[in-house]
């Protein structure tokens, strides 16, 4: 199983490196199109990053959970999942609160950050999806994982399509997949409040890209990762059938996109089908390459990142904020790092990309130090 597990770690490493790359350009005004999310509907390579994390989490569960259940029982496993899920949520909140605007003398951290704490986010979604997925895996037989995953997508579509909702002005809507106007946005605004949401100024409803209702299909993405992991890694059978199903999922998702748009923010059913299909193919390709040419040898950068992905995410999150918070001669540290690159490289988009690559390298160095000393941060 060594090659298969290494391929999984490498895919996780690719996902975290891609996330760092797309989240930390030198300038958001100068970014190559593939490194941006789709404006709303549609899919770019960047839109594969987050579902990649969720999918890999599912594959990892397919490997680890059966052993944990056999060793500790479902009650202990569920309690551990609750602890891990809560830890991820708390880490997400820490990153949100880790900000102070030193350029504003009377900056009010309490009102600006604590009072507007963003309850949801990337790590928060990972924590919630992890917990819900473990609970489902502890209560349903493995043969039904795929059925439940598809059932969650159908249930989400039925709710989004047929449940009406009303704005403050009394106007009623139904079946919309728009920015600030969907059942998912309505529920985020109603339950969490606009001040705690990422798109606080969206109209008619504030909402969060990692919203409450859209977490349901994200659980489906994780379960599809579990199914793929069962057949590609733990049992390594029916590989051809899994690839055929993955390709069929891509085709079906694209075909249905005329009625149910492919949308990362709303995590639509078509988005799940297309991204899960692509990720299955990527995982298979990584496994094939590693088994044939030993591509991912110990110390490979993708393995270094993939075996300590949460540590890398936290290092990058803290560093990105420090580069903007700390000022020298009235300008941010990021400015002083980025300006020499723009002067040396005339193309603004290339300069912005080079800064992102430099940022990834800086974050990678402490991770390499940890890897060489056998330090792995397990949440």
| Rounded mean pLDDT, 80-107 | 96
The pLDDT, as a whole number, for residue 297 is: 80
pLDDT > 90? residue 240: no
Residues 6+ positions from 176 with CB-CB distance below 8 Å:
182
List pLDDT tens digits, range 257-297.
Answer: 999 999 999 999 999 999 999 999 999 999 888 877 677 78
In which band, very low, low, confident or very high, does the pLDDT at 324 lie, cut at 50, 70 and 90? very high
**Is 214 within a domain?**
yes
Q: Are 310 and 19 in contact (CB under 8 A)?
A: no
Question: Is 70 exceeded by the pLDDT of residue 236?
Answer: no
Mean pLDDT value of segment 2-16: 87
Per-position b or e across 189-199, b if 16+ CB within 10 A of its CB:
beebeeebbbb
Tell which phi-psi region holds residue 298, choosing left (phi > 0), alpha (psi between -120 and 50) or beta: beta
Report the pLDDT value the prediction gives residue 4, as an integer from 0 to 100: 72
CA distance 127 to 151: 22
Which pLDDT score is estimated for 147? 97
Cβ neighbours around 318 below 10 Å, total: 14
Closest-CA residue to 95 (of 115, 121, 129): 121
Predicted local distance difference test score (pLDDT) of residue 21: 97
Domain encompassing residue 274: 2-372
Q: Would residue 379 count as lying in a domain? A: no
Separate counts of helices (H) and strands (E) for the chain: 14, 4
Question: Which residues are within 8 A (CB) of 37 and not within 5 positions of it... i.e. 6 or more apart?
Answer: 22, 44, 46, 47, 264
Q: What is the pLDDT of residues 112-131, one digit of tens each?
A: 999 999 999 999 999 999 99
Confidence of residue 299 (pLDDT cuts 50, 70, 90): confident
Q: CA nearest 219: which of 355, 350, 4, 58?
A: 58
347: in domain:
yes
Contact (Cβ atoms closer than 8 angstroms) between residue 89 and residue 257:
no
* Environment class of 81 (CB within 10 Å of its CB; exposed 0-12, middle 13-18, buried 19+): buried
Return the number of other C-beta atoms located less than 10 Å from residue 141's C-beta: 7
| 188 pLDDT above the threshold of 60 | yes
Q: Which of 146-150, 243-247, 277-281, 291-295 has the lowest mean pLDDT?
A: 291-295
> What's the pLDDT at 319?
98
Name residues whose C-beta falls within 8 Å of residue 38's C-beta, 6 or more positions apart in sequence.
44, 47, 263, 264
Please give the pLDDT value at position 237: 66
Does the residue 238 lie in any domain?
A: yes
Residue identified by tokens 């391929």 is 7
User: Between 4 and 177, where is the model more confident?
Assistant: 177
Cα–Cα nearest to 160, from 136, 193, 183, 180: 183
3-state secondary structure 165-203: EECCCCCEECCCCECCECHHHHHHHHHHCHHHCCECCCC
Confidence of residue 234 (pLDDT cuts 50, 70, 90): low
For residue 269, tell me if it sits in a domain.
yes
Span 357-378, mean pLDDT?
A: 95
**Is residue 377 in some structural domain?**
no
Question: How high is the pLDDT of residue 292?
Answer: 77
Per the structure, the count of domains in the chain is 1
Tell me which residue of 320, 293, 296 sits closest to 306, measured CA to CA: 296
pLDDT of residue 295: 73
Q: Is residue 330 part of a domain?
A: yes
Which pLDDT belongs to residue 2? 65
Express as a percent the part of the chain with pLDDT over 90.
89
Q: What is the pLDDT of residues 20-73, one digit of tens each?
A: 999 999 999 999 999 999 999 999 999 999 999 999 999 999 999 999 999 999
Query: Is residue 1's pLDDT more than 60?
Result: no
Which residues have CB under 8 Å from 258's CB, separation 6+? none
Query: Are the beta carbons of 193 and 23 closer than 8 angstroms?
Result: no
Q: What pLDDT, on a 0 to 100 scale, did the predictor assign at position 187?
A: 98
Separation CA 153–CA 29 (nearest Å): 36
With CA atoms as reference, report the closest residue to 341 among 355, 362, 330.
355
Quick one: which H or E segment has residue 325?
helix 309-325
Domain assignment of residue 96, yes or no: yes
Reduced to 3 states (helix: H, G, I; strand: E, B; else coil), residue 328 is strand
């Amino acid at each position: 199983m060594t090659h298969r597990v290494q391929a999984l770690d490498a895919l996780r490493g690719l996902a975290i490196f891609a996330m760092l790359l797309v989240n930390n350009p030198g300038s958001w005004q100068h970014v190559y199109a593939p490194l941006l999310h789709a404006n709303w509907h549609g899919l770019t390579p960047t839109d594969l990053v987050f579902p990649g994390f969720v999918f890999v989490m599912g594959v990892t569960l397919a490997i680890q959970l059966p052993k944990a259940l056999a060793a500790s029982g479902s009650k202990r496993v569920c309690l551990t999942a609750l602890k891990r899920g809560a830890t991820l949520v708390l880490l997400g909140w820490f990153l949100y609160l880790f900000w102070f605007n030193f350029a504003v003398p009377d900056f009010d951290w309490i009102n600006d950050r604590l009072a507007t704490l963003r309850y949801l986010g990337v790590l928060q979604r990972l924590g919630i999806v992890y917990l819900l997925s473990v609970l489902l895996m502890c209560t349903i037989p493995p043969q039904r994982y795929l059925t439940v995953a598809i059932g969650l997508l159908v249930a989400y579509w039925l709710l989004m399509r047929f449940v009406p909702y009303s704005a403050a002005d009394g106007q009623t809507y139904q079946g919309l997949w728009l920015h600030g106007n969907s059942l998912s946005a309505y529920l985020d605004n109603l339950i969490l409040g606009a001040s705690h949401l990422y798109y606080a100024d969206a109209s008619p409803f504030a909402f969060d890209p990692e919203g409450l209702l859209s977490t349901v299909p994200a659980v489906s993405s994780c379960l599809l990762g579990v199914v793929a992991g069962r057949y590609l890694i733990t049992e390594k059978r029916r590989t051809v059938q899994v690839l055929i199903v993955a390709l069929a999922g891509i085709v079906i998702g694209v075909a249905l996109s005329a009625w149910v748009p492919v949308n990362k923010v709303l995590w639509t059913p078509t988005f799940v089908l297309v991204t899960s299909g692509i990720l299955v193919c990527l995982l298979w390709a990584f496994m094939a390459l590693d088994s044939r040419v030993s591509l991912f040898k110990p110390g490979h950068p993708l393995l270094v990142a993939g075996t300590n992905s949460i540590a890398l995410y936290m290092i990058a999150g803290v560093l990105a904020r420090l580069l903007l918070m700390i000022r020298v001669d009235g300008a941010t540290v990021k400015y002083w790092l980025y300006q020499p690159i723009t002067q040396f490289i005339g193309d603004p988009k290339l300069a912005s990309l080079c800064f992102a690559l430099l940022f990834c390298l800086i974050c990678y160095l402490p991770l390499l130090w940890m890897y060489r000393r056998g330090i792995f941060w397990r949440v």
